[in-house]
Chains A and B, each alone.
Chain A
């Protein structure tokens, strides 16, 4: 049972925008940086966002991240068919003394 809650799925047409929420608590999101990962089946998960809103080299600016209090949000604009994947948030949890991942959100491009 994950301590970070995400919606199971979101969908939108190509070119549109989706947002994915990640809800936690003071012991995790509220006190630590949040990262976001993209996972296409059969491939290695890829880091999309680190330190709440920073993008690694090579990640397009269509992907953005933000954090407010005990929640974080991943935004994807200009949705493409290649964006169909599972997305997970992650952060350190001070109470659990460990890294925790969100429940995961499947993005579908209609």
Chain B
């Protein structure tokens, strides 16, 4: 059974960098699929942030592309997310998920608050 778990700081100061890691168990990232990040601001719907292919190719939401980096670490079976120059608008629950033209399964999500 494939499981994903997000981890990282729950509080980030404005203008700093948000960094999260997604740990995958039950499936080797190197075996295939894309692996993605989605966020959901309070009271709003989900927003796709981007995906990374097991080969390392990345696909980003054009509205966030200038601030987002997704990397994969095959040795740890993890992939990560960095969002630079964060503002209060980046406050959201961040989810990681496996993508194969749909997202399944998802992690439990982690709340990241941007505040000084």
The complex places the Cα of A92 from the Cα of B45 at a distance, in Å, of: 16
Q: Are A98 and B59 in contact (CB-based, < 8 A)?
A: yes
Q: Contact: B101 with A50, CB < 8 Å?
A: yes
Of the residues A44, A47, A56, contact of B95 by C-beta under 8 Å: A44
Complex CA–CA separation, A9 to B109 (angstroms): 24
Binary contact readout B37-49 vs A (1 if CB under 8 angstroms, 0 otherwise): 0100000011110
Is B61's CB under 8 angstroms from A98's CB? Answer: yes
Q: Are A44 and B108 in contact (CB under 8 A)?
A: yes
Interface residue stretch chosen among A13-21, A23-31, A73-81, A99-107:
A99-107
In residues 73-97 of chain A, which contact B (Cβ within 8 Å)?
88, 90, 92, 96-97
Chain B contacts with A in 42-86, Cβ cutoff 8 A: 45-48, 51, 59-62
A101, B102: Cβ atoms under 8 Å?
no
Query: Which of B48, B59, B61, B95 is the one whose CB lies under 8 Å from A45?
Result: B95
A37 in the interface, Cβ–Cβ < 8 Å?
Answer: yes
The listed residue (B62, B102, B108) touching A97 by CB distance below 8 A is: B62
- Chain B: interface residue count, which band? 20 to 34
- Given known pairs A88-B46, A98-B48, A104-B45, the reply for A47 and B101 (CB within 8 Å) is no
Given A98-B62, A99-B48, A101-B46, verify A44-B109 contact (CB < 8 Å): yes
- Residues of A near B46 (CB, < 8 A) are 37, 45, 88, 90, 101
Interface residues of B in 87-116 (CB under 8 A from A): 95, 97, 99, 101-109
Q: Could you list some 10 contacts between A and B, CB below 8 A?
A: A2-B45, A33-B102, A35-B101, A45-B46, A51-B101, A51-B102, A56-B104, A88-B46, A99-B48, A104-B45
Interface set of B (CB-CB < 8 Å, partner A): 36, 38, 45-48, 51, 59-62, 95, 97, 99, 101-109
Which residues of chain A have a CB within 8 Å of any CB of chain B? Answer: 2, 33, 35, 37, 43-47, 50-51, 56, 88, 90, 92, 96-104
